[in-house]
Structure formats: structure tokens, C-alpha cells
């Protein structure tokens, strides 16, 4: 395995990932060049509003785009280009190396098969484990995520478990084949707020004990900051800021991130959360201008002439704002 | 854009409610009746007091008595025994027709819903053409070519009714195929064949209903073919053949053969059709 970037070995490396809906002259962009790196055992949060391209990025990684969508750019898993994989290799990637957790466990688990079957089917079918081993591992993992009587849960049907419990089952399913990376698409959004916290803490615990890389897609900035090492903020089909979670939330380097942070309610301060004027830009509506220009309080004429690339700001933080150096201090003050 | 993420808790199965509705005395009665009929057909040869083709010219055209509960035909054969032996052939024919047509239907439905697009459109078009050809006509042609008997009408009717089964199953399979869990299965690296096993399980209620319903129809149509002389040939006992064989006796004042065989056909067809409809309603599958 070789890396040409020179940095630590990337588990997952996405470069200039573009996704288009439709074909030919009708094609509209959905992702406009996403760059993202996940190192082994590292948790990356991907945050952004609905329609910013978070889920589409996950789908593109798994090469599971909806009908009529096409992708270009590079998605490399351990240096191996996913788009070049033959179907057998791809099946091995999906069944054994990358696990997936969905937003709505109820819809993503076949209600007619038992939990035990759901957990063991893929790993047994792919030849990774024998039936007996798979059962043992499933029970072990169920216990790890807090089920007291795993043998009984294995015999239950999804309809007999609550949403929170079912999401834990989903976490176990993702961990079953000992994957190197887990993609989680808003795993707690469909859950009750109290259950959310519980599931999330179990989730981040098992992710750490099993030393699995994580791409965690969420709307929730605070949740992402609390559970991930690094964060990428997406807007209109691009990553506009990336850096350590701590840096992104305390020293934002993009006006959009800073505005997002200011729009959160706070337990500690009495203030009215500040909204962001206007509507989220669509990836399709942006051309040769900063996608956030229309809503940005720091906008200047230069912002409307080029779509700024991600540039290194400080440490390993990157930002796609032309004016970062000048306005950095003001950005941080917004959330002060 | 995609069907993913549509949380649809309402569509999750509610076992309790369904089971409750399914257990009405009426449904139980139909299940018991159909079960008894199938059991009679299976055990017919053991229950029959006489061999079905043992003639006894001295005991011809007897009215019902203790020795011959349904009497005898003009050759002195025991009608109850013939009825019981005949049940086996009639039921075997109907079962084969239904099983073959449903299996074909399942394969067509799964393939066309899985691939969608051109495959699906082509399959639907071809099915519609075949549905336009009456099943009985196909059976008559098959018998003309292959000769009467058991297999020609059975296979012809099985192929002729497969398009109906396929059309009904395709719709349900398509709904199932686009559920989020099917996509999730694909992303967990499970093979297409196995995923279709999941889909099949999802459409199993409609398969059950369709099988029961189709059994009654097949029984009636196979009886009709034998009645017009294209199916089972005398002296083999079969209900449709018995109805027509009893025709002259009926004119002579002995209607037992035609009536008893006809009654068995009617009872069976009505029982299975009603049970099929009942299952459709209970399992929430539309026609």
C-alpha cells in the first residue's frame, strides 16, 4: 500500500468527488468536488444543512447512487479506487470493510426476519464467519451495546424492539464483519432526544473499542463535535471548512460555520439564536462564485468572481473562504 | 428522488391485529373444510371401500344402500370409491397447475421487478398478450397436439394461468423491492439471489392467497376439460369425467353419479375460492 500524499495512511481518501443528476446538457450538479480524508480509527463528522450533499457523499463512497446519477473524481479505500472495483471486490468491500448505519432502522431492517438472522446473514453468506461463530459474535456485540439477554433478542422480530433498541441492533450489524470504516447517516435523527444521547454514547464507545474509522453525517454540530476527531462542514455540494472538531467549533474559519454556530440555542447564555438570512444555496445554482456569497455578512465583490478552493488556514484546518485571514477574528467573536 | 429515509412505521406488520381478524369462526370453518377436503383426497384410496374399477354387473345401477353408500353406476362400480379415487386425480391436477403457474409467476415477477426498466416493460407487455388468450383455448390446443390425458391439460393450464399470477405478484414484488431495507441488504454485500429471497418472503401473503384462490379455479377448469373429454379418460375415475359419465344414467333416473361428482366439484371450488378471498382480505392484499 502506497500513499502519494505523504501524510499518514488514509483509510478513505476522497478527491474532487462530483456527482451529477441527469446526463448530458440536462445534468445538474449535486456534489461539486468534495475532498475528505479519514485515517484509520479516526472519527470524522460531516455536518451541513439538508441538501448540502452529506448523504450523497456516503452513497457515492459505497457506489450506490440513485438511478440517473453519475459520479466522477476519486474515492480511494486503502489506496484502492472504489470506482475501479469489479463487482466481486465491491461486494467484499460492502460486506466486510465498510459498514453502514442508517437514519431509520425501522425502514432499513426487513421486518419479517429475526434480529439474529439480520445480524448473521451477510457475514455468513460472504463466508466471513460460520453460522455458529456469527451467532456468538452477534451475541457478544449485542451485550456490548447494552442488551442484557442477547440470546432472546436474537430470536425477536424488529417489530418487537423500540427505535432506540433497533438502532443498537443496526450498530451491531455494522460491526459484525469487523469493518475498518463505518458510515453513519444521521444515526440518531429518527430517535427521541433522550434515547439519542444514550445511543450516541454507546455508539461512540464501541467505535473506539473496536478501533473503527467513522464518517458521521449529522445536522447536529454539537453532537458531531462531541463524538468526532475532525469535522467537515458541507454547503451546496462542497466541503467549505474542515479541521479538528475542536478547532471548527471554537475557532471557525468560514463565515458559514460561524453563522451555524451562532444559530444554536445555548444552555449557558441567554440569547436569541441568530438565523442565517436567505435560503440554503443549491449545488445546481452555483457557478463561479462563492456559494455562500448571497448570505454572507462579509461578502465582497471578489467573492462573486471565483469559487474559492479549500486552502490551509492553520494546522490542518482548511477553509474555502477568500477572506479568512482578514476576518478570522470576527468569525470567532460571533460565537464568543 | 429515492425512497430512502421515508419512515413508515404504519406499514410495519401488526401481528396481533391481523391474527385477531384472521381467526373469525368463518375463516376457521373454511380452513377446516379445505383441510378436510385435501385430507380426503390424500387418503382417498385408503378410505375407499372397493377398488374404483371393480365392475359387478349383478350390482349395476343400485340406489344408495349400506353396502354402497352412494350406490353404483351402470357397470356396478361403487360410486363412493370412484369419488374418493377421483378426488386424488382432480386435486393432484389442480395442485400441479397452481404450483407450476405460481412458481413461474414468482420468477417472472421477481426478475421484472428487480431489473425494472426495459425488462419490466417487456415482461409486462408479453404478459398482457398472453392474458388475452383464454386458458381453456390453450388447453384445447395442447390436447389436440399432445393427446388427452393428465399432463397435456395440466401443463397447458399451468402455463396459461402463469401470466395472471405473474401480473398480480409483480406489483407487490415491485413495492417490496423499493423498500429501504432492500437497498440496505445490497449495501451489506448480500447477493442478488438472497435479496430476492427477502423480497419473496415479503410477498408471501399474496402468494398464499393467490395459491388458494387459483386452486379452486384450476379444479373447476380441469374438471371442465375432463367433462368435454379432453382430460382424464374413462375408465379412470375423475370428477369431471364422472359428471359426464353419469349423464345417461341420469336420464334413466339414476342421478347419483353426476350429482355426487358435481357436488364435490362445487363444494371444493366454493370452499377454496372463499378461503382465498378471505385470506386476501385478512392479509391485506388486493386483487
How many other C-beta atoms can be found within 10 angstroms of the C-beta atom of residue B31? 17
**Phi-psi category of A87—alpha, beta or left, where left has phi over 0 and alpha has psi -120 to 50?**
alpha
Cell numbers at A22, concatenated: 441527469
Torsional sign, CA B124, B129, B134, B140: negative
d(CA B145, CA B126): 24
Distance from CA of A161 to the nearest CA of B (A): 12
Host H or E run for residue A315: none
**Binary contact (A95, B188; C-beta < 8 A):** yes
Q: With contact defined as beta carbons under 8 Å apart, do A172 and A161 qualify?
A: no
pLDDT value for A241 = 92
C-alpha torsion sign, points A325, A326, A329, A331:
negative
Residue with the three cell numbers 447564555:
A269
Per-residue pLDDT at A293: 86
The alpha-carbon gap from B180 to the nearest alpha carbon of chain A, in Å, equals 5
Mutation pick from A91, A108, A159 vs chain B, by most beta carbons of B within 10 Å, is A108
- Tens of pLDDT, residue by residue over A45-80, are 999 888 888 889 999 999 988 888 999 999 999 989
Q: Are A213 and A8 in contact (CB under 8 A)?
A: no
Contact indicator for A189, A218 with CB cutoff of 8 Å: yes
Q: Which CATH superfamily is domain B15-51+78-282 in?
A: MetI-like (1.10.3720.10)
- What was the pLDDT predicted at A115? 94
Q: Is the ipTM of this complex over 0.85?
A: no
Selected residues 220-249 of chain A with any CB under 8 Å from a CB in chain B: none
* CA separation for the pair B247, B33 (Å, rounded): 28
Strand A317-319, strand A238-244: pairing? antiparallel
Closest Cβ opposite residue B5 in set A103, A121, A173:
A103
Domain ranges within chain A, ordered by starting residue: 250-336
User: What residues have CB less than 8 Å from A268, skipping those under 6 apart?
Assistant: none
| Minimal-distance CA residue of chain A relative to B115 | A67
**Which among B7, B14, B198 is the nearest to A104, CB-wise?**
B7
Listed by start position, the domains of chain B span 15-51+78-282
Alpha helices in chain B (DSSP H): 15-22, 25-47, 79-115, 117-131, 135-146, 151-177, 180-187, 192-202, 204-227, 239-245, 247-251, 256-282
Reported as type and span, the H/E element at residue A104 is none
Whether residue A110 lies within 8 A of chain B, CB to CB, comes out as: yes
Extract the C-alpha cell encoding A113.
Answer: 426476519
Give residue B109's pLDDT. Answer: 94
Closest by CA to A206, choosing from A167, A245, A234, is: A167
Residues from chain B contacting residue A189 (CB–CB below 8 Å) = none
Cβ atoms A331, A256 nearer than 8 A: no
Each residue of A7-52: pLDDT tens digit? 456 899 999 999 998 887 788 888 988 999 999 889 999 998 888 8
Rounded to an integer, what distance in angstroms lies between the CA atom of residue B239 and that of residue B94?
12
Spans of chain B, pLDDT less than 70: 1-23, 284-287
**Global pTM?**
0.77
Among A65, A262, A279, A100, which Cα is nearest to A186's? A100
Distances, alpha carbon B41 to alpha carbons A212, B84, B239, in Å: 61, 7, 12
Q: CB A247: neighbour CB atoms within 10 A?
A: 19
Q: Which residues of chain A have pLDDT under 70?
A: 1-9, 285-286, 333-336
**A212, containing H or E segment:** none
- Could A91 and B191 be called an inter-chain contact, meaning their C-beta atoms sit closer than 8 Å? yes
Phi-psi region of B266 (alpha: psi -120 to 50; beta: other; left: phi over 0): alpha
Are the Cβ atoms of B188 and A112 closer than 8 angstroms? no
- Which among A222, A221, A226 is positioned nearest to A203, based on CA atoms? A226
Q: Are strands A213-218 and A181-185 parallel, antiparallel or unpaired?
A: parallel
Cα separation, A203 vs A208, in Å, equals 9
Q: In what order do the strands lie in the sheet with A230-235?
A: A98-101, A181-185, A213-218, A43-47, A230-235, A238-244, A317-319, A311-314
Strands A317-319 and A311-314: what pairing? antiparallel
Is the Cα torsion angle B256, B257, B258, B263 positive or negative in sign? positive
Amino acid at each position: 500500500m502506497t500513499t502519494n500524499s505523504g501524510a499518514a495512511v488514509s483509510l478513505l481518501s476522497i478527491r474532487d468527488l462530483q456527482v451529477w443528476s441527469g446526463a448530458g446538457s440536462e445534468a445538474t450538479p449535486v456534489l461539486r468536488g468534495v475532498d475528505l480524508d479519514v485515517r484509520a480509527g479516526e472519527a470524522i463528522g460531516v455536518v451541513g444543512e439538508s441538501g448540502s450533499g452529506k448523504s450523497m457523499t456516503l452513497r457515492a463512497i459505497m457506489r450506490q447512487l440513485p438511478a440517473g446519477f453519475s459520479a466522477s473524481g476519486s474515492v480511494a479505500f486503502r489506496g484502492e479506487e472504489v470506482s475501479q472495483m469489479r463487482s466481486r471486490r465491491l461486494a467484499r468491500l460492502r460486506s466486510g470493510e465498510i459498514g453502514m448505519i442508517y437514519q431509520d432502522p425501522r425502514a432499513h431492517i426487513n421486518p419479517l426476519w429475526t434480529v439474529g438472522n439480520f445480524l448473521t446473514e451477510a457475514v455468513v453468506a460472504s463466508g466471513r464467519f460460520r453460522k455458529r461463530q456469527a451467532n456468538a459474535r452477534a451475541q457478544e456485540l449485542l451485550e456490548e451495546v447494552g442488551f442484557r439477554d442477547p440470546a432472546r433478542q436474537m430470536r425477536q422480530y424488529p417489530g418487537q424492539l423500540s427505535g432506540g433498541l433497533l438502532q443498537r441492533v443496526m450498530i451491531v450489524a455494522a460491526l459484525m464483519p469487523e469493518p475498518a470504516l463505518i458510515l453513519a447517516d444521521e444515526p440518531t435523527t429518527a430517535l427521541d432526544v433522550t434515547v439519542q444521547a444514550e445511543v450516541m454514547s454507546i455508539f461512540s464507545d464501541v467505535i473506539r473499542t473496536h478501533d473503527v474509522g467513522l464518517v458521521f453525517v449529522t445536522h447536529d454540530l454539537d453532537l458531531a463535535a462531541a463524538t468526532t476527531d475532525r469535522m467537515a462542514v458541507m454547503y451546496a455540494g462542497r466541503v467549505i471548512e474542515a479541521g479538528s472538531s475542536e478547532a471548527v467549533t471554537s475557532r471557525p474559519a468560514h463565515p458559514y460555520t460561524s453563522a451555524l454556530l451562532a444559530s444554536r440555542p445555548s444552555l449557558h447564555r441567554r440569547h436569541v439564536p441568530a438565523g442565517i438570512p436567505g435560503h440554503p444555496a443549491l449545488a445546481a445554482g452555483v457557478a463561479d462564485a462563492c456559494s455562500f456569497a448571497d448570505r454572507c455578512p462579509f461578502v465582497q465583490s471578489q467573492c462573486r468572481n471565483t469559487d474559492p478552493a479549500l486552502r490551509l488556514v492553520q494546522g490542518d484546518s482548511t477553509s474555502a473562504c477568500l477572506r479568512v485571514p482578514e476576518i478570522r477574528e470576527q468569525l470567532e467573536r460571533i460565537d464568543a | 428522488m429515492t425512497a430512502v429515509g421515508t419512515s413508515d412505521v404504519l406499514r410495519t406488520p401488526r401481528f396481533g391485529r391481523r391474527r385477531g381478524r384472521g381467526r373469525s369462526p368463518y375463516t376457521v370453518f373454511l380452513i377446516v373444510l379445505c383441510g378436510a377436503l385435501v385430507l380426503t383426497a390424500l387418503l382417498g384410496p385408503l378410505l375407499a371401500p372397493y377398488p374404483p374399477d371393480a365392475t359387478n354387473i349383478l350390482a349395476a345401477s343400485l340406489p344408495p344402500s349400506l353396502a354402497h353408500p352412494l350406490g353404483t353406476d351402470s357397470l356396478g362400480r361403487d360410486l363412493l370409491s370412484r369419488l374418493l379415487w377421483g378426488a386424488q386425480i382432480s386435486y393432484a391436477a389442480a395442485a400441479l397447475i397452481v404450483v407450476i403457474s405460481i412458481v413461474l409467476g414468482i420468477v417472472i415477477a421477481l426478475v421484472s421487478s428487480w431489473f425494472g426498466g426495459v425488462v419490466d416493460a417487456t415482461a409486462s407487455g408479453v404478459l398482457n398478450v398472453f392474458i388475452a388468450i383464454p386458458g381453456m383455448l390453450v388447453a384445447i390446443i395442447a390436447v389436440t397436439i399432445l393427446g388427452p390425458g393428465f399432463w397435456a391439460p395440466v401443463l397447458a393450464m399451468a402455463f396459461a394461468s402463469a401470466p395472471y399470477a405473474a401480473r398480480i405478484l409483480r406489483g407487490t414484488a415491485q413495492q417490496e423491492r423499493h423498500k429501504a431495507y432492500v437497498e440496505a441488504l445490497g449495501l451489506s454485500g448480500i447477493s442478488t439471489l438472497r435479496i430476492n429471497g427477502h423480497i419473496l418472503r415479503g410477498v408471501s401473503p399474496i402468494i398464499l392467497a393467490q395459491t388458494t384462490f387459483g386452486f379452486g379455479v384450476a379444479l373447476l377448469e380441469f374438471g371442465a376439460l375432463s367433462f368435454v373429454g379432453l382430460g382424464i379418460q374413462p375408465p379412470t375415475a375423475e370428477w369431471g369425467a364422472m359428471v359426464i359419465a353419469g349423464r345417461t344414467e341420469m336420464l334413466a333416473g339414476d342421478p347419483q353419479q353426476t350429482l355426487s361428482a358435481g357436488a364435490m366439484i362445487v363444494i371444493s371450488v366454493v370452499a377454496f375460492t372463499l378461503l382465498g378471498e378471505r385470506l386476501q382480505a385478512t392479509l391485506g392484499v388486493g386483487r
